[in-house]
Amino acid sequence: MLYKAVLNGSAQGQDIKNILYYRTGLGIDISGLTVGGTVELANGIHAMVVPSLLDCLVADYQLEDITVYAYDESTFNLFFQVPYTLGVYQNGNRGGDTDGPAQCGILRFDLEPSVILVDGPRPPRRGYLAIGPLPSEWITNAGVLDRTGTNGTKLDALTAAVSSNVETLIPPALFFPVRVHTDKILGIVKIASFADISNATWRPQTSFRRSRVAG
């Protein structure tokens, strides 16, 4: 099974979405999980990823919910038409000012090598998350992410959280982090392939997301 987990947040009136992808391993029986594992994954992300995410974001940011979609891993079609949504409504833990919701740090994923099929879908080559709004003091006047001291500790914790497996004990489940490649077919964006995440690193220079500019 393949999963798309959308972290729906907002800051200063702007929607902020970050998307994580996971897969179950070969031979994993999902029949004992709830709604195909979407409930367990949402709860696992809330426990293992969200604390590190909120430790990097200012209080202006609120994570409203985690919405998880399940896909058939062989066809990439939705397994359930209705996703599972876990309400969160938690704010960022960092105090101080921010340069607005558009300013963000780029967390890039390194992906495991994948076999390229002849005349088949190509695996993704990269992936990233745009994390923000970050505290102003974490960004230098040159727009560089300051990773010294406590800043670096918090950023490293988030790096580890989003590139690690998500595990739940009751019921037992294990989800591996991946990134996906999408194609547009007849105007509809569909997942075409995926690759496992091996690591993640922060890009030194911060970025500016026009879609997050406060109106």
Q: What is the pLDDT of residues 61-114, one digit of tens each?
A: 999 999 999 999 889 999 998 999 999 999 999 998 999 999 999 999 999 986
SS3 state of residue 60: coil
Listed range (114-118, 128-132, 175-179, 210-214) with the worst mean pLDDT: 114-118
Q: Name the nearest CA neighbour of 132 among 20, 16, 12.
A: 16
Burial of 11 (0-12, 13-18, 19+ CB in 10 A): buried
126, 108 contact by CB (below 8 A): yes
SS3 category, 198: strand
Instruction: State the pTM of this model.
Output: 0.93
